[in-house]
């Protein structure tokens, strides 16, 4: 997309529409949409051009949770925000982890009836990419077992990685973005989806923080980590088939390896099928 196409979109948000923006660059890390960082009158903006069909729920959740100036077209789902300076690397202290937990709590408190088009998470959407029947079987079995034990699905972000959390501790900014995958899902999917980007052995204190806060047994922890990592592998395998980007292949390999590790750890522990209920 060029300047001629971007400027009419940016003009929907900025006050000074007379000047052309100085520069822009496409964000390579944006996998599913076209995202540009634009410099205009010494201010920086992100412009997201939606590449696929979205739902009312994405618009409703974004506008509910986003606390800073933005422009969101509810029809096209194109989005403009001022760029927020964030802490790097992602801070993992207890205060930030507590903010993650608080966000998940707020999200789950939303009544599903008040959010449009919110469907159950399609955990089998990419199952054809499973590397073998055994892993696919464990994945289906564990998802259904946990769903049965938890008794009800909750509102979930489903892409709560640190890439979608903006933190600036100095200015007390904590902002979650990108609600396009939100749906009804398992209670602890979001917290383990957040954790899967952090190596289990090298970042165990992070895991321990949430394990203690949610009072989770070890078999539940490894079952969930198998599920979220295996789904990440399936998603990346599907994306790689169409994009052929090497980083997607590396991402898939990484999460398949992690999924296998956590499945092996789970299989050494008491089966969740012998449990009566998960809190």
Last residue of one domain, picked from the residues 32, 61, 82: 82
Residue 33 is part of which domain span?
3-82
Do 137 and 23 belong together in one domain? Answer: no
Return the closest-CA partner of residue 52 out of 35, 79, 69, 32.
32
Residues 154 and 178 in one domain: yes
- Is the domain of 109 the same as that of 242? yes
Q: How many domains does the chain have?
A: 2
- The answer to whether residues 60 and 98 belong to one domain is no
What stretches of 143-272 adopt beta strand conformation (E)? 154-156, 165-168, 173-176, 183-185
Q: Among residues 216, 219, 191, which one has the least CA distance to residue 206? A: 191
Strand partners, 80: 47, 71
Same domain, 53 and 108: no
Specify whether 37 is located in the same domain as 118: no
pTM: 0.93
108 & 230 share domain? yes
CATH number at residue 75: 3.30.200
Is residue 33 one of the residues assigned to a domain?
yes
Q: What local confidence, expressed as pLDDT, does residue 279 receive?
A: 66
On whether residue 102 sits in a domain, the answer given is yes
Whether residue 30 is found in the same domain as residue 78: yes
User: CA 106 → CA 109, 115, 157, 186, 210, distances in Å?
Assistant: 5, 14, 11, 15, 16
Q: What is the chain's percent helix, strand, coil content, to nearest 5?
A: 45, 15, 40
- Residue 88 forms part of a structural domain: no
153/59 same-domain check = no
Domain assignment present for residue 8? The answer is yes
Q: Using CA atoms, how far apart are residues 82 and 70, in angstroms rounded to an integer?
A: 7
Task: Look up tokens 């919110």; give the residue.
Answer: 118
Co-location of 13 and 151 in the same domain: no
Q: Is residue 87 part of a domain?
A: no
Q: Which of 25, 56, 82 is the last residue of a domain?
A: 82
Whether 60 maps to a domain, the answer reads yes
The verdict on residue 233 lying in a domain is yes
Count other C-beta atoms under 10 Å from residue 86's C-beta.
Answer: 14
The CATH number of residue 132's host domain is 3.90.1200.10
Structure tokens at 278: 């998960």
Residue 1 is predicted with a pLDDT of 46
Q: Are residues 19 and 143 in the same domain?
A: no
pLDDT tens across the length of the chain (279 residues): 444 478 888 888 887 777 777 778 888 777 788 899 999 888 899 999 998 888 899 999 999 999 999 999 999 999 999 999 999 999 999 999 999 999 999 999 998 888 988 999 999 999 999 999 999 999 999 999 999 999 999 999 999 999 999 999 999 999 999 999 999 999 999 999 999 999 999 999 999 999 999 999 999 999 999 999 999 999 999 999 988 889 999 999 999 999 999 999 999 999 999 887 776
The reply to whether 56 and 191 lie within a common domain is no
Please name the residues in contact with 218: beta carbons below 8 A apart, sequence gap of 6 or more.
Answer: 269
Rounded distance between C-alpha atoms, residue 92 and residue 195, angstroms: 11
Take residue 245 and report the two structure tokens written for it: 């980007």
Is residue 89 one of the residues assigned to a domain?
no
Residues 6+ apart with CB under 8 A from 30: 48
């Amino acid at each position: 997309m060029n300047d001629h196409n971007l400027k009419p979109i940016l003009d929907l948000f900025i006050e000074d529409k007379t000047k052309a923006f100085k520069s822009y660059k496409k964000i390579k890390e944006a996998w599913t949409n076209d995202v540009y960082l634009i410099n205009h009158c010494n201010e920086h903006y992100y412009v997201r051009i939606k590449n696929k069909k979205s739902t009312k729920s994405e618009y409703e959740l974004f506008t509910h949770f986003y606390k800073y100036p933005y422009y969101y077209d509810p029809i096209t789902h194109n989005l403009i925000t001022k760029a927020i300076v964030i802490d790097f690397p992602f801070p993992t202290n207890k205060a930030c982890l507590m903010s993650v937990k608080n966000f998940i709590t707020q999200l789950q408190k939303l009544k599903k009836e008040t959010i449009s088009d919110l469907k159950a998470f399609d955990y089998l959407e990419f199952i054809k990419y499973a590397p073998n029947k055994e892993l696919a079987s464990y994945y289906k079995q564990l998802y259904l077992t946990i769903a049965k034990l938890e008794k009800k699905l909750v509102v979930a972000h489903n892409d709560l990685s640190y890439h979608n959390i903006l933190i600036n501790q100095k200015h007390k900014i904590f902002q979650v973005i990108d609600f396009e995958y939100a749906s009804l899902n398992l209670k602890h999917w979001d917290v383990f989806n957040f954790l899967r980007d952090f190596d289990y052995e090298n970042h165990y204190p992070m895991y321990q923080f949430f394990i203690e806060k949610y009072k989770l047994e070890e078999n539940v922890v490894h079952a969930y980590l198998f599920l979220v990592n295996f789904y990440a592998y399936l998603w990346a395998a599907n994306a790689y088939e169409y994009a052929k980007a090497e980083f997607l292949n590396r991402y898939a390999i990484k999460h398949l390896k992690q999924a296998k590790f956590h499945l092996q750890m789970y299989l050494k522990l008491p089966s969740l099928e012998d449990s009566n209920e998960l809190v």
